[in-house]
Structure 1
Amino acid sequence: MNHYCEFVDDGIKYQPHVFQLPLDYDDCSKGSIEVFARSLTSTSENASDKPWLVYFQGGPGFPSPRQNGHQGWVKRALKDYRVLLLDQRGTGNSSAITHQTIAHLSPQAQAEYLSHFRADNIVRDAEQIRQQFAVEKWAILGQSFGGFCSLTYLSLFPDSLLRSYITGGVPPVTGHPDVVYQATFKRVVEKNHAFFKQFPKAQSLCQSVANHLLETEEYLPNGQRLTVEQFQQLGINFGISNSFLPTYYALENAFIDVNGTHRLRYEFLNRIMMEQSFHTHPIYAILHESIYCQGQASDWSAQRIQETLPQFQYQPNQTFYFTGEMVFPWMFTQYTNLVPLKQAAELLAQKQDWGPLYDIERLQANKVPVSCAVYADDMFVDMDLSRQTLANIPNSAAWITNEYEHNGLRVDGEHILDKLISMGNQLAATID
């Protein structure tokens, strides 16, 4: 039953759109999925003549934002475009994948189903929607993993695009996932050093928590036992702006005395649980490494790289390091909602026949203006790898800045998109 409605809020008209699209574009006999998108147009003017801008969310595995007010990058976008917020397949209202929806399938069936939820099919969904909208060409904006989708779109359907704007999401288009994690682990080390330099006391606080978890059973509010490895994953926050101080405050108040016993505070445990987005967005864990795979298996790339870095393998009373945006096989044993996907995760980690995500020859012949915000201190998407990719894509331009972290579009989206639109216009003038 379609329970979505059209509404107006703060000068923006919101319209829901639902599409029935193939699960597998190469074999329609496998059935269809439902894909949801929401269009945003300004009510202050006639928007029907404006081109479309499609937004690809970061992740993988997260829905498009639920816009609240005439602000941020949407405010800037609506000056020039009609905006389409796409819930990528498997997220939000688009045949959502959770432990609830696929736990009943066999591991083999789970893995086969999940293999259709990468960037190539996300882009094919968007292209089908473009055709159903009867739009000749539209622009795209990709944040983080959404930028990966943007390069896939440029590879598969470049003639459908007016412009491509990318923020914090220019991936390597060749090579093995190991190259990515070797680079990102280095960025994580740098972020650890910066955090502990600013808050020296935090090192002893982290050791206290980690030592306590090795000796004492502590459980999150959902009943899941907390481990050192899970605690280390709080470091994912170091990839976004203004995260150091809140992390220190949390460490400062991690413990409480309960009848003379040293225990972790409920508030601290609840915070950790609330930040474990893998529970509510399992695609983020199960397909994370596959976004770098083309014709090869990831074979738990981050885990293998971490094993060469002893500083991340905590030992009692030794220097503590947080990890970052990596996924590991132990997560499918420890995280309650990932346990039903453990065998499927192993099958996908060993899968070698992943199809191509990028067409190198098409990218090297690119004629679509591609303007990118590349963040110099990005912990999630390595700047050097992004620059290597863009060096081989003509009609692309990078704005390299250390003003923002990976979440720059969320923090100052109006300014960032304005900059990218200006860059795109300049590129277009050159191409013409």
Structure 2
Amino acid sequence: MDTICSKGRVDPFTATWQPSIPLFTACSARGRPTYKYGGPVRQRHEKTRMDVNPSGQNEERRSRRRKSHISRSPEANDFGKMSGISDPYLGQNGKVGPAELLEEKPVAEVPEEPLQKHEFTFRVPRDYKQPNGDRHILHVVVIREKKAAKGSKQRLSDFQPLPSFCYLCGGPGSPQEEDRHRVLTKHAVGNGFQMLLVDYRGTGGSEKLDLARLANGSDDEKMRAFQQARPGNIVRDYEAVRLYLAQKARKANVDDRLILMGQSYGGWIALLYAQRYPRSLRGIMLTGGMPPITASPVKVYEKLFESVAKDNETFYNDASIRSGNKEDPRTLVLRVAKAILARPGRNPRGNNLSLATFASLGRRLGQPGGAAQVSGTPSAACAVDSKNTVFDIVDTHTFNKRIIYAFEHETQCYVSKKGDRSLWSAKQVRDRSKHYKWVSAKSAAELDELAMEGEFFLLGETFMPEHAEDYADLRNLGGVAFAEKLAARGQTEDMWDVPLLKANLKHMDVFSVTFPTDMYVNADLAEDATKQLGNAVKSITLHPSVGLRHNAIRADPDKLLLIFKDLGCTYFSKTVR
């Protein structure tokens, strides 16, 4: 099959799909397709109009297909302008094939909704450079309009294929949680799509990291497990699942390209997908998900700490958000910090509460009403109660459940070049500020001295050396020492090729919503990235008065989808008015 590139011929109907028995193969610009039929040989009769030659008649057929309500692919002219597949990890001759189906559960009802769920287990290469090597297990869910009778044992293949809308959750290291996005799912299904949810590697129902085995394994084995769960492989996993679904969609003349909605880290995955496999995508929606594509890790954290500082100032100075708690936040934080130092040691689950982990409670400040939540947290009372209770209350990062999120956050999100590394960039920025000296204090007297210099600022979304020793599962894998070894290995793949990405995005619909007070994805850096991508992205940075923040897709999805509609997004035109 022809390789699609910026030069040379291209057949739009074979550009993105190569089933085991192809319906037809690539052909020259002057010749007809060579049809391949998997059944008995049969004679095809030509029907040639007197005023149209065979070549022109063939083009007429293609034109009619492109005008159908659900088109198979972008127009041929668009394909000719696309740069095509660009996966530097696989190289020029590498490719991704359809995922291997291991199990498909019978159709299931979605409780209290007119929807049905199809659940799959797939197998894909652990390393796509070795397609016949070890395999990795993926968990996939497809949600559609309810058509199956109650108690039916039907499979997805028993129903008419539909185009797929794919939600990419934040992370890294987070699973897809279908129950958290019911409103979005209903909008997708109500507009003729099926919702596609794929658990990222190491999360949810997909194959998780075997912590017990890794804890006893070599450092190389442990590092390889984390490296294989990075965005490059996540994109290839999605492409493998798409190719599996495409096998039937193509036969039914249904568009097999995906529409992606990337929330936060999901936006990283969406744009990397567009850069590497542009012919596989119909459009992209980013919600707080525009990555800082050329900013260094330190630059990113400098901007993020600026946002966190503003939320801390609100927490300390806005008396209206204290949820009935009359205690001054300065006194509250100082009192809890002293209580933590007075009761050192690990709780029965093996977790330790350091001042840095307590400071991570500030991650909640980035949510709507977050300052009120933090002010109302009964941390002070619990600090003299059960150690388990205290740790659970301030554990906003849940690193024991999201190991990848801990060890990989800086590398996966902010290191763009193969071989480059980020070693405690967040800590470097933290330690420059007088407002964070308190997290390294060793005594109550030292805390009292530091309190005279200013407020004790809480941390945002960061991974610190103290976390690597505080969380039992992180410590069992090697704690700080392992985190530093993994970071020293650096990025395993080049991430962003801005000219290529910019060129590819011109041939699909791309919409981006940025939140001005976002403490997780900085608005200034998001705007800089959008400018680099040119007018290919239809974007808006909301005014603070709109009231939406980073979690808008969960907090107020209807309002967010209206904003996308105003940008020109028509995917939900039937239900969003």
Secondary structure of the structure 2 residue equivalent to 1:166 = strand
Letter in 1 for 2:179: Q
**Which whole-Å CA distance do the structure 2 matches of 1:221 and 1:198 have between them?**
37
**Which whole-Å CA distance do the structure 2 matches of 1:224 and 1:267 have between them?**
8
> Could you report, residue by residue, the CA deviation over 1:379-415 in whole angstroms, capped at 9, with x for unpaired residues?
0000010011111223211232232121111101233
**Which whole-Å CA distance do the structure 2 matches of 1:345 and 1:331 have between them?**
10
Determine which of 277, 283, 293 is the counterpart of 1:173: 293
Q: Residue 268 of structure 1: CA displacement?
A: 5.1
User: Please, which moves more after superposition, 117-126 or 363-372?
Assistant: 363-372
Q: Which residue of 1 aligns with 2:426?
A: 302
Q: Which residue of 1 aligns with 2:472?
A: 336
Determine which of 421, 429, 435 is the counterpart of 1:311: 435
**Which whole-Å CA distance do the structure 2 matches of 1:271 and 1:334 have between them?**
12
Give the % identical residues.
25
Q: Which residue of 2 aligns with 1:110?
A: 222
Indicate how the Cα distance of structure 1 residues 240 and 68 shifts in structure 2: closer, same or farther if over 3 A, else same: closer
Letter in 2 for 1:207: L
Determine which of 244, 249, 254 is the counterpart of 2:380: 254
Q: Residue 24 of structure 1: CA displacement?
A: 1.4
- Provide runs of 4+ in structure 1 moved above 6 Å: 44-47
2:400–2:472 Cα contact (<8 Å) kept: yes
**Which whole-Å CA distance do the structure 1 matches of 2:469 and 2:120 have between them?**
38
Q: Which residue of 2 aligns with 1:245?
A: 372
Secondary structure of the structure 1 residue equivalent to 2:500 = helix
Structure 1 residues 403-414: aligned runs within 5 Å:
403-414=547-558
Q: Which residue of 2 aligns with 1:187?
A: 307
Q: Which runs of 5+ in 2 are unaligned?
A: 1-101, 149-157, 250-255, 320-326, 442-446, 572-577
Q: Which residue of 2 aligns with 1:126?
A: 238
**Which whole-Å CA distance do the structure 1 matches of 2:139 and 2:292 have between them?**
29
TM-score by length of 2: 0.68
**Which whole-Å CA distance do the structure 2 matches of 1:418 and 1:232 have between them?**
36
Secondary structure of the structure 1 residue equivalent to 2:422 = coil
Determine which of 176, 188, 192 is the counterpart of 1:64: 176
> Could you report, residue by residue, the CA deviation over 1:247-292 in whole angstroms, capped at 9, with x for unpaired residues?
21224x6226xxxxx8246685154265341011101101101121
Q: Residue 224 of structure 1: CA displacement?
A: 2.1
**Which whole-Å CA distance do the structure 2 matches of 1:121 and 1:339 have between them?**
26
Determine which of 267, 270, 275 is the counterpart of 1:147: 267
TM-score by length of 1: 0.90
Q: Which residue of 1 aligns with 2:518?
A: 378
Q: Which residue of 1 aligns with 2:129?
A: 26
Larger Rg: 2
**Which whole-Å CA distance do the structure 1 matches of 2:467 and 2:277 have between them?**
36
Indicate how the Cα distance of structure 1 residues 353 and 149 shifts in structure 2: closer, same or farther if over 3 A, else same: closer
Q: Residue 175 of structure 1: CA displacement?
A: 3.4
Determine which of 550, 555, 559 is the counterpart of 1:415: 559
Return the structure number with greater strand share.
1
Indicate how the Cα distance of structure 1 residues 68 and 299 shifts in structure 2: closer, same or farther if over 3 A, else same: closer
Q: Tell me which of the two structures has the higher relative contact order, counting C-alpha pairs closer than 8 angstroms and 6 or more residues apart.
A: 1
2:291–2:521 Cα contact (<8 Å) kept: yes
Q: Residue 423 of structure 1: CA displacement?
A: 2.8
Indicate how the Cα distance of structure 1 residues 243 and 267 shifts in structure 2: closer, same or farther if over 3 A, else same: farther
Q: Which residue of 2 aligns with 1:38?
A: 141
What CA RMSD, in Å, does the superposition of the two structures yield over aligned residues? Answer: 2.5
**Which whole-Å CA distance do the structure 1 matches of 2:306 and 2:137 have between them?**
40
**Which whole-Å CA distance do the structure 2 matches of 1:171 and 1:179 have between them?**
13
Letter in 1 for 2:115: I
**Which whole-Å CA distance do the structure 1 matches of 2:394 and 2:400 have between them?**
9
1:77–1:83 Cα contact (<8 Å) kept: yes
**Which whole-Å CA distance do the structure 2 matches of 1:230 and 1:98 have between them?**
25
**Which whole-Å CA distance do the structure 2 matches of 1:47 and 1:2 have between them?**
17
1:254–1:268 Cα contact (<8 Å) kept: no
1:142–1:167 Cα contact (<8 Å) kept: yes
Aligned pair 1:361/2:499, yes or no? yes
Secondary structure of the structure 2 residue equivalent to 1:389 = helix
Q: Which residue of 2 aligns with 1:259?
A: none
**Which whole-Å CA distance do the structure 1 matches of 2:120 and 2:267 have between them?**
23
Determine which of 104, 116, 131 is the counterpart of 1:13: 116
**Which whole-Å CA distance do the structure 1 matches of 2:462 and 2:106 have between them?**
37
Secondary structure of the structure 1 residue equivalent to 2:179 = coil
Secondary structure of the structure 1 residue equivalent to 2:233 = helix
Q: How many residues are paired up?
A: 420
> Could you report, residue by residue, the CA deviation over 1:111-139 in whole angstroms, capped at 9, with x for unpaired residues?
12211211111111101111111153111
